[in-house]
Structure formats: structure tokens, C-alpha cells
Chains A and B, each alone.
Chain A
């Protein structure tokens, strides 16, 4: 990846992002590889836990895909977990994404996101205020978060524990006057504690990409219109298939449980589960668990 040139853009240059200029403690300049976010397009930062759940993965993919398809640029911190999932999905869905680093722009961290580091330069870019070669240090990450929030129009929190790095980014977003949305979760789930608290404190509730698209002014009509579409997806399914759908959830349910809840013959059940997967209605979460597939509204079968 060394072929892609590293540029330094100082705060006085015209190319320097407008959004970064007017924040408290604005950087003096930034190092850039690839391109900078297009100021003419809307930008959403999607952030969340490094140790996400299956639900968190599904939600991050759902929102990143839905937003990217409407030309929204996705910004995040390239970390493992929600960050990387959102950014990879945005790129896979044909959108663009920007990674804000807490280390030198030529340092790949974490190693498992190497592929993302390569892909992102084709359809987005990497940004850091630290000189090339700076190793990843925990102390630098909180400061980096103010750039993530600053670059965004909306900050979306997908999954967060009670005390986490996410809350730092949220605080910056509040200082910078950015809109905050959170994906709700179960009240018993520690990974959703942060999000549910944000919603209780007044953050927007993100139940589908349309909620955010509407806040960005990209669509009108609100969520109810789209909700109906979402339910249409299940029309045309057989009675058995609907029975299976009814006992599934966005949290994984085991095949033993599906079998005992539906009372289906096992052989039929496995055939129908496969068909539903091929129809794009449900997803295999691994180890014999299935979840409903979060789907972009009106987005065809898969």
C-alpha cells in the first residue's frame, strides 16, 4: 500500500475539510491517503463496540448498507468490531468510507483489518493527524475520536457498553453540535446498555436506515411508509415458512429451539430453513443458530 502517496494538508489550505475547522481543539493539519470526504455528500459516522455481538454485526451491516446505497459516506475508526464491519459493508455496497486513525497513516492496526486498509484507498481514504510511523497508542485514540465526530453530519452508535470509548466520541459530537442516533437493544443486554441510555437521554432512535436518511434530509415520508415495505418481504411464503419466521428474532435462535417451537418435522424444517436463507429472509448465525436478516427496505430479495 506504500504506492499510495501520503499528503499533508495544513489547516490553512483550501482543501482542508470545513467541518474540521470550526471545532474546539481543531487539528493544525492532517495526513491523508486516498481522498477526503466529498463535502457535497452527507456523512455518517458509525461506531460501536470492538467486541460486538451477532446482533451488532447485523445492525452495523444493515445501516451501513442502507446508508451507502443512498450515497452517504461512512466514517469510522477502522477498529475491530462495529467500526470495521460498517466500513467494509459500506465499501461492499458500492459506497465510500473514510478511516480516521489514532496512529501513523502507514501503520496497519489491527492486523485483521488489513484488507479493509487496502480496499478503502480505492473508494475513500485514510486520515490521521499523527505523522507517519506513529505506533498505535491507547492515549491517542480518544483525541482521534473528535475528528470522527467532527467529520460527520450524524453520529450513529450501534452497540456500546456502559463505559466505553464510544461515550468519548458521543461527548465530542455533543460539543460539536452533531446529531446523535443510537440503535436500541434489549434492556438486559450489557452491549446495548450504552445505546439504550443514549436514547433515554434524548438521542435519536435508529430502527432502520430510513430514520437516519430522513434526519439527513435525503428521504421524506418517515419510517412507517418503509416499515410496510419491510413486511411485504414475507408475502408469498408458505405456512411452514411463516411459522419458522414467527419464532425467529434478530437475536440468534438455535435449531433445537426452532424445532420444538414449530413442532415441524426435522427434515422439513431443515429444508425450509435452507429455502428461507436462499430467499434472503433469514441468516445462519453459525453453530446452528438462525436470525432474521436485517434488510434494506425495498431492496429486492437479497
Chain B
């Protein structure tokens, strides 16, 4: 007897439909065969499935059993075919009526005992199933909250093969799981890092706010033990709340990478790879590449602490994604594209001892130059804002009289700046001021005579480089947006220039 079960296959973040067909027939030697361009982990699953069936009380008949995963021209990998294969076999054995399987997609891994184990990439599979008109998705209970985030499709979590059978024979009443993400995202997020816990540092806080508002990549410089990492860790708390769409997107990527716990991602990611990270881990590695750190940081923050310690060739790979906001990986198994649209934040000491250009620095100018020459140039070229984060002084630590602004207050301003940009770029491909190119800048950053003159004088007097010109205007646009001003005025401009010249010595300003 022949049967067919719907499942899905993952290719990077792309999902394709797969039919899991099983045939149990008389004649010939008893054999259990699986075909259909399968990865080794799927070929190995035969023993697992047979045992899981046995421990659930079903014995495969000593007949000729063939399982085919079609279409056969697509390579399949992953452990989520166990459950659909088992269900397909049970159907072929006549234990499940084929009509119970119409409009239903199944995915899940089996343990030897017959338990259904969680798998990667559930949300993208469920979303794709809904798009293709399926009505129901049976998946591991552990993945139910994740899958339940997709609207318009019934998601049912199962714990065992036995339970799955009962569900498909109608013995068990289905309990669909649905998660209302909009409600979840509306709930006030509690961030572990809040700006109200950082005292003083007014200039640095402001720089971080501007960075978040226009998604300008930022470099924080300062002595060791200062507030650099703390400052960076607060960044997600002032970025606008995730939209439903973004939540699904991020959850999907994290799910494919296998780092999603249960449920969905409700906060902007903050990914901070160690400086010994390999380029593979950063970009996405493996013969079938998993999303790397830069994709896990999608719609969030990628934080590189101790920037000069990173291998410059490792950082090279950031170049293309910083430009395209996605990463292309080619492997023998095919080409993969993962989204990688993140805010880059980096931190570093100003010199080896950490105190330049203050009095305590023992490096001297040459020492400082040598230290700074280690940093990846292409990366610096992508940074709009440099800010100095001071040491935390004890006065500031002990002074309880000053009430610092909370992240929530700052986030409200950043969100408004996001709205202004959304309006500005609604006809355009780009979303943020930091993405503006020459034409956009001419269109959206006109300067008055006074501003034009200030900029001209500054370029002359401060020997700014031509390459700094667009950067300054992009940042000035964001500062004006934060000020709800249509025009860029001299104050906006000088603040933008200040963020540029703070990098003097680190790059050619």
C-alpha cells in the first residue's frame, strides 16, 4: 500500500515542500529502504524510526518497504523527517486514513522510545505551509509556541508518536496552540541593561542615541573598565520595539541556527562574538551553512568588543554584508543567502595602556599610532560615529541626586526618529539615514547658506577628508530628525562633525 505525507525542507532560510512517500509491498526480500537525495543523517534515521515504531507498539512488517522524499532533485538534510516518515509508514500499513493527512504538514524528530523531539527551523516551515494553503501543522510540543506564532494555520504540538497517531485517527482532540505576538510585543520589555544605571557620560549617551536613531554604526573608545560594553549592551533597549514581521524574521533565523529556546524572539538581538571568533562562525559555517553571528544579529546589534584584537582577515567578511545587509555563502550544496541587517557597535581602548590622550597614558604618540594601525580599515570606513566613553568617576557612582534618563524615555525619541525616516524613505529601497547614498543626500540634506559656510570652514580648518563629507551629512540628518527639524541647522551639523573628528587619529577624518 502507498501513502504520502506532507513535510517541508530547509535550504538556508528558504523552505520547500517535500512529500514523504512510503510503500509497503509484498514480494522480494524484506527490506527498509529510503531514497530521495538524502543527507547522511536522514539515511541513518531508518534504525531510529524502526525502533521508535517498535517502542510505540508497531512492528514494521517483514515486507519490502520503500520511503521516498520527493522531489528527488533537491538535497534534503535535517532530523525533522523522522515523524513524517513514521506517519507515512503507519498510513501505508493502514493504521491511518489517508484523508486525515490532507492539508496537514508534519515535522519532528523521534527518539528511540517514540518521543517527539524538537527540531530547527519550525517557524519558517509553518509560515511557508500557511502560504501554500495548508490548514494544519503537526510538530513537536517543544516547538509549539514557536510555530503557534504564525497566524492563519492550526498548530498542534505532540509529545510522542503514539499521541500523533491518536490525533490522526481522531481518538484525541487536537489542542491547537496560538501565540498572539502583537500582544507579546506590546508587553513592556524588561531589559537587563538600562541607561538609567549609567551615570554621567552625557556626550557618549547622546552619541549612542544618535547611532540608534539612524542605525549609524558606532565605535566607542575609552579606557578599560569604563562604560563601553555597558553602553553597547544598552543599545537594544533604546531601539524601537520589534514589529510582528521582524519578530517572525528573527525567530526564523534563530530557529534555523538552533539557538532559539522556546517561543519567539521578542527583543532585538545583541550578539557579541569573542575576538577569537572564526570567519566561519561570523558569516555562517558548515557544508550546509547555519546562520552566523552576523545573521543572528539581524535587526539587532552586532557588538565587537576589543576591536583591535580581532583578526583583520576575519573582519574582512563583514564588508559585503555591511554593504548589502545580507550575506551570500556558496557551498558545494548550493548558494545560501541569510539576512544580516544589523547595527554595528564596536569598542576599543584608545591605546595599549588605555588612557590616551589623557595624562596617564604611557604609550606616547608612536605607540598609539602603532596600536591604532592594527584596526581593520574597511570596517572603520563603515562607521559614522566615534564617541569617547570616560572612566566612571567615583563622584558619579555615589551621586544619587541625579536621576538618569531611562532607556524607555530614550527609546520613545528613537522611535519617533524611525517614524520620520519611514515616511522619508517610503518610496525608496532604503530605510535609514545611514543608508543614504550621494543622490539621497542631495535630496534629503539640503543646507542653508550659513550651514554651507560652516561646513566649508570646518573642512578647511579641521582638514576633514572628502570621504567624511557624506558621513557628516547622514549623521546630521539623523540629529535633525531627533530634533523634529526639517532642515539641518548649524547645531546639527557641528554635532555630526564632532562625532567625526572624535575619530581623529583612528581614521583620516
Contacts and interface: CB of A to CB of B under 8 A. Distances in A.
A244 to B, nearest CB: 13
Interface in B463-500: 483, 490-492, 494-495, 497-498
Contacts, number: 120
Contacts of B388: 254-256, 287-289
Nearest to A80: B366
B291 interface: no
A255 B388 CA distance: 8
B362 interface: yes
Chain B interface residue bracket vs A: 35 or more
Minimum-distance CB pairs A-B, first 3: A51-B364, A288-B388, A286-B505
Contacts of B201: 256
Contact of B458 (A81, A186, A274, A285): A274
B462 A81 contact: no
Given A54-B357, A255-B502, 15 more contacts: A51-B366, A81-B366, A251-B358, A252-B358, A256-B201, A256-B389, A267-B491, A271-B490, A273-B494, A274-B454, A274-B497, A280-B461, A284-B501, A286-B505, A287-B504
Interface residues of A, number: 40
Contact of B491 (A54, A188, A189, A270): A270
B284 to A, nearest CB: 34
A94 B42 CA distance: 79
A86 B201 CA distance: 36
Contacts of A52: 364-365
B350 A287 contact: yes
Contact of A288 (B203, B365, B495, B497): B203
Given A51-B363, A274-B498, A288 B462 contact: no
Given A287-B505, A288-B203, A81 B365 contact: yes
A255 B494 CA distance: 14
Interface string A29-67: 000000000000000000001111110010000000000
A255 B498 contact: yes
B386 A266 contact: no
14 contacts: A49-B364, A53-B361, A54-B357, A189-B359, A259-B202, A266-B202, A266-B495, A270-B495, A274-B498, A284-B502, A285-B504, A287-B356, A287-B386, A289-B388
Contacts of A275: 494
A260 interface: yes
A278 interface: yes
A190 interface: yes
Nearest to B356: A287
Contacts of A57: 365
Nearest to A252: B357
B498 A270 contact: yes
B216 to A, nearest CB: 16
Contacts of A274: 454, 458, 494, 497-498
A222 to B, nearest CB: 30
Contacts of B16: none
A240 to B, nearest CB: 12
A186 B359 contact: yes
Nearest to B489: A271
B491 A287 contact: no
B203 A259 contact: yes
B120 to A, nearest CB: 44
B273 interface: no
B374 to A, nearest CB: 16
A268 interface: yes
A207 interface: no
B172 interface: no
Contacts of B505: 286-287
B178 to A, nearest CB: 47
Contacts of B386: 287-288
A66 B161 CA distance: 89
